[in-house]
Structure 1
């Protein structure tokens, strides 16, 4: 029984050491965002246990922040399902891209798929394992480290919210600020600006048409429809 365990340990150790440096940017971002999420959940009456379970089981980043509002207002199951699908629909495309990357990894594909997120997708799709490091354990190390950063940040935030009372006004803007930074980074590339303008224009139009409470789903549908029509015209 010890032989397979020792073999796994020999493969996992080098994989973790090789993967960790690539995940340091995710560590810094996820710790602060996880702390913000834990503190906000605590401020809404959900203690460390609930916020940690949410991060460990749901592990959906932006949708977890949205879920705070869903948990503290009148619950509309249809809107919640549609909103969750639209916010996380990008994972359908992540999964398609990862088909070849995760081919032949056996049972490791289950945790790899479960903990796949934006940041992990970005790393795994661009980084190759160093020579002598097992591919399966390298990708697994990146994925599990990112997952643990987020859950660990949530635990810290939940505990801080219990023992260090402070004004949480504006703290929920942390994730919005992150996406603004990501948008500005993409804006630097000229080829991305058309899609950015489409997103801004469609969102502004839906804000005027549907109001701030109901703009998310119509805006995302409009953006997808415009991009698909533009792609169809380019292909014909």
Structure 2
């Protein structure tokens, strides 16, 4: 367990830096809306949904209906259904950890797990523990950052303007690492083209779900030739 935890911590250091800063921004926003550190802890522990948490601040203070809240949550976090398809078999093999792994699969955790390769000296049990610790540490970073932000907001005035770019920068770094490590860039190019097409058609953040659906459909259709190309190369 110690070996798996140490490896997972090293791998999640970039996410630690990003989640602490963005978590602080969320905590500050929450505190300025009249909700304190306890709310920050509960939301980041139980909701843990990044952009949805920022939207939740307005929902809690604006008194929106349950139906509106449910629809907003579906549209904002629907992309995670596609993330989960990648890890269904892997998470099911983790048995007791399976429900938590599903709930904790954020954008950054997904990207990191996709880019990680099992070291030769790791057993299957150690690798499963490493996967769990990656998700668990990431959530801990987010919770700590959120609570710190709420506490800081109570003590000193602080502007969080521009701090949300930390997660954009982190995602770019992880994406670059995956690009370098991948044997083929065909899936990435397909995803990029689909995103550009639907962004041009929809011209709003709502392009993400249809772009992901289109990417999945194209990849399933081209699965055999892509796998054949990878085997040849």
1:159 and 1:201 mapped to 2: Cα distance?
41
Shift of residue 17, structure 1, vs aligned partner: 0.9
Contact 1:52 / 1:151 at 8 angstroms: preserved in 2? yes
Shift of residue 71, structure 1, vs aligned partner: 2.0
Partner of 2:6: 17
- The CA RMSD measured in Å over matched residues stands at 3.2
Shift of residue 162, structure 1, vs aligned partner: 0.6
Partner of 1:4: none
Task: Count residues in correspondence.
Answer: 208
Aligned: 1:164 with 2:146: no
Shift of residue 55, structure 1, vs aligned partner: 0.5
1:193 and 1:137 mapped to 2: Cα distance?
32
1:201 and 1:185 mapped to 2: Cα distance?
25
Contact 1:108 / 1:136 at 8 angstroms: preserved in 2? no
Partner of 1:9: none
TM-score (norm 2): 0.75
Shift of residue 88, structure 1, vs aligned partner: 0.9
Radius of gyration: which is bigger? 1
Partner of 1:97: 86
Taking a change above 3 Å as real, the CA distance of residues 77 and 49 of structure 1, as seen in their structure-2 partners, is same
Aligned: 1:137 with 2:126: no
Structure 1 residues not aligned, in runs of 5+: 1-11, 205-214
Taking a change above 3 Å as real, the CA distance of residues 85 and 139 of structure 1, as seen in their structure-2 partners, is same
2:56 and 2:41 mapped to 1: Cα distance?
14
2:21 and 2:150 mapped to 1: Cα distance?
12
1:231 and 1:197 mapped to 2: Cα distance?
15
SS in 2 for 1:81: helix
Partner of 1:153: 145
Partner of 1:56: 45
Taking a change above 3 Å as real, the CA distance of residues 79 and 224 of structure 1, as seen in their structure-2 partners, is farther
Taking a change above 3 Å as real, the CA distance of residues 56 and 158 of structure 1, as seen in their structure-2 partners, is same
